[in-house]
Amino acid sequence: MLRTWWKNPTNTCTAAVIVLGVSMAVGASTHAGENSTPLTFTNTFSGEPLDVTPPDGEIATEATTHFLRTAENIYVGDAAAIGKGSELFLKQCAVCHGINATGRMGPSLVDDEYVYSRNASDKGIFETIYGGAGGLMAPLKGRITQDEILKIMAYLRSLRAK
């Protein structure tokens, strides 16, 4: 019976639509939760686009590739990454934001009061660290890697969780 069902042009068309629908559903579920369109990153202060292409000599890691596609920091909750982020924070950020990130010349990074509301999200805080902001916040692009920025962000999120 299946052999004769396929010979009918109407049934062949129906079968093609079913196969196409199943293929599209499988493809959609394979990429669920992943953004196939690259995210746009912008400067916190000026709103101009940020070039997040890793500078020469910087290796894109699994974490940075994932973050630039999804704005999800896979280092959040990772003890080793948080430890490295703490070290990096003390070297790069503590002089302005205090050793506990509670503020000094720069604002606190562990409360809910943001100079820039976008910093409530990981994407926004990445844009601020990478591209700089108004005042004395210079861009860290080229001074530390994107992977190191993600580790600093994971450290900051761990402080906020306390």
Q: Rounded to an integer, what distance in angstroms lies between the CA atom of residue 29 and that of residue 61?
A: 25
Largest CA distance in the chain: 80
What are the residue boundaries of the structural domains of the chain, listed by start?
Answer: 1-32, 62-161
Fold of domain 62-161: Cytochrome Bc1 Complex; Chain D, domain 2 (1.10.760)
Residue 149 is which amino acid? Answer: I
- Comparing 12 with 34, the larger pLDDT belongs to 34
Predicted confidence (pLDDT) per residue in 68-95, tens digit: 999 999 999 999 999 999 999 999 999 9
CB proximity list for 114: less than 8 A, separation 6 or greater = 107, 120
**Is 119's pLDDT higher than 50?**
yes
Among 25, 47, 56, 51, which residue's Cα sits nearest to residue 38? 51
* DSSP 8-state code for residue 39: P
